[in-house]
Structure 1
Amino acid sequence: MLWQKGRRSDNVVSASGGGARRFGGGPGLGIGGIVVVVLISWALGKNPLEVLSLLMQDGGGPAPQTQTQQAPAQTQTTEFVRAVLGSTEDVWQQIYASKGGQYQVPRLVLFQGGVNSACGSASSAVGPFYCPGDQQVYLDTSFFDDLSNRFKASGDFARAYVIAHEVGHHVQNLMGVMRKTEELRRQGAPMEGAAGLSVRQELQADCFAGVWAHQAQRQLQWLEQGDVESALAAATAIGDDKLQKQSRGHVVPDSFTHGSSAQRVRWFRLGLERGDVNLCDTFGTQQL
């Protein structure tokens, strides 16, 4: 991926100051730690998401919305993140303008180990995430190492897909999708499961990531041989079925939160091949 061709965004910052912290003040949960938590939760008949949510509260007290932010150090990784985020800004601004709207760009926060956001405290174990409360994407760049080493999805375009997916959640937030999903959850609509609202929301973010990839390629012609395969490998590696098979030996579709590998690949590929936001209606289809 010739990411150097991309315009650098000015909306990438680093978290700093005393606000950044890890779970319980200790060394924090790594990928192995989160797997242990999930396995113990299942053994006790608990919902792993609820257990992880409790851990993320860091003792139960309210977390500060954010900590001091500053310009990131100029490394190859931060330059890559700035280039990808800059491309998402250009693509979504163009899409919004074509519909007579104005895109509100998000900020991307780089952190190490742990971070505070308007959504609470989180460690790097939760992976990249988007917080609608402050409209910021949070990324511990060590996740890129996990993507290559644990998930066997190496390559710059695989990393770009991860960023674009989280930006996809920001687009959902701007569109009111996340608010509507939360309203339906409060009314008792199922969030988990192979066709749950959480899965539909995540798959739409995958499709939006594909739309970005399609439009960015038209603008920059920056993809090289093998790039698409690396992104599809990433989508495959983080499917619920594959992760459950690795952690517990079998698959439980009723507990899906992000979609199966096949679903994630399908929706990302749809956005990538067609580049049409209107095709990303995962909430209005029976067949995911």
Structure 2
Amino acid sequence: MRWKGRRGSSNVEDRRGMGGKTLVGGGIGGIVILLIVTLLGGDPGAILNNIGITGSDTTTPYEETKQEEELADFVSVVLADTEEVWTEQFRQQGLVYEEPTLVLYTDSVQSACGAAGSSVGPFYCPGDQKLYIDLSFYDELQKRFDAPGDFAMAYVIAHEVGHHVQTLLGTTDEIMPLREQLSETEFNKYQVRFELQADYYAGVWAHHAQGMDLLEEGDLEEALNAASAVGDDSIQKQSQGYVVPESFTHGTSKQRKRWFYKGFESGSIDGGDTFNASDL
């Protein structure tokens, strides 16, 4: 992705080095469960509020490495690009786009959705309309999920921004109350469609990024590979050796790739109605 030397967003809040309350209990098994449920969007508040939390807020000096400095600049530029694209897309709909804030943190963070450790992966909290990311996830994406490349990370950010789009359009308020009305298995079906719509919106952003001549050779493949790598079936196979389809909350690798690519081809906000799609 062509990003160096370009404008970054002013909506970045740097909390790195600020020790917040941390998650306890569950060991590596608990971490894996959290990762499966909340990776790339989910609803961390519903889970985190039921987990033991301990620790106290402390602030320690934070010295970023050169790699972290570059990553921080990169995510800021990607966020700025999403702001430009979605401001125009909302304008075409006769709406006003409200820009979200991206919070950089290390180890743990407090959000309106609860306290979260970096093991949950990047997430968006509708309660404060902020995206949260520990930049160490970039290494996780490359090493654990075998999804290298800067545009793989750009996809992650664009997906979380997709959840912000859903919040602004009222989709989040329509879907999340169903959690209290349906069984877990039935609600999971809605959750999958909710996540696939965020993948579609990420693809819409990538479409316009290509139109701005920001993509380089191989970027699209990096994003599709990342979408596939974080499919429920791929994560469950990696973490436990088998899949439980009724527990899926984000969609299969095939579905995530399909909806991202559908958004990439369309470039229009109007084509992302995953809730009425007969074939996911």
Taking structure 2 as the reference length, what is the TM-score of the superposition?
Answer: 0.86
Which of residues 51, 58, 65 is equivalent to 2:53? Answer: 58
CA displacement at 1:246 relative to structure 2: 1.5
Counterpart-to-counterpart distance in 1, 2:278 and 2:243: 21
Which of residues 172, 187, 210 is equivalent to 2:181? Answer: 187
Say which SS state the counterpart of residue 216 (structure 2) adopts.
coil
Contact 2:104 2:135 in 1 (8 A): yes
Counterpart-to-counterpart distance in 1, 2:2 and 2:242: 39
Contact 1:129 1:139 in 2 (8 A): yes
Say which SS state the counterpart of residue 75 (structure 1) adopts.
helix
1:11 aligns with 2:3: no
Which of residues 139, 145, 167 is equivalent to 2:139? Answer: 145
CA displacement at 1:18 relative to structure 2: 5.6
1:227 aligns with 2:219: yes
Contact 2:188 2:247 in 1 (8 A): no
Which of residues 146, 154, 166 is equivalent to 2:148? Answer: 154
Residue in 1 that maps onto 2:263:
271
Structure 2: 5+ residue stretches without partners: 37-44
Q: Percent identity?
A: 50
Counterpart-to-counterpart distance in 1, 2:260 and 2:17: 37
Residue in 1 that maps onto 2:246:
254
Counterpart-to-counterpart distance in 2, 1:88 and 1:231: 15
Counterpart-to-counterpart distance in 2, 1:29 and 1:115: 19
The equivalences for 1:1-288 within 5 A come to 1-4=1-4, 6-15=6-15, 20-24=20-24, 34-35=31-32, 54-55=50-51, 58=53, 75-188=69-182, 190=183, 192=185, 196-219=189-212, 221-288=213-280
Counterpart-to-counterpart distance in 1, 2:139 and 2:113: 25
CA displacement at 1:193 relative to structure 2: 6.4
Counterpart-to-counterpart distance in 1, 2:48 and 2:260: 27
- Letter aligned with residue 241 of structure 2: G
Counterpart-to-counterpart distance in 1, 2:124 and 2:81: 18
Say which SS state the counterpart of residue 224 (structure 1) adopts.
coil
CA displacement at 1:51 relative to structure 2: 6.7
Deviations 1:38-81 (A, max 9, x none): 99xxxxxxxxx9876533x515x9x99xx99xxx9792111101
Stretch moving more, 8-17 or 95-104: 8-17
CA displacement at 1:276 relative to structure 2: 1.3
- Letter aligned with residue 218 of structure 1: G
> Residues 260, 37 of structure 1: CA spacing in aligned structure 2 closer, same or farther, 3 A cutoff?
closer
Taking structure 1 as the reference length, what is the TM-score of the superposition?
Answer: 0.83
Say which SS state the counterpart of residue 4 (structure 1) adopts.
coil
Say which SS state the counterpart of residue 203 (structure 1) adopts.
helix
Contact 2:185 2:246 in 1 (8 A): yes
- Letter aligned with residue 272 of structure 1: F
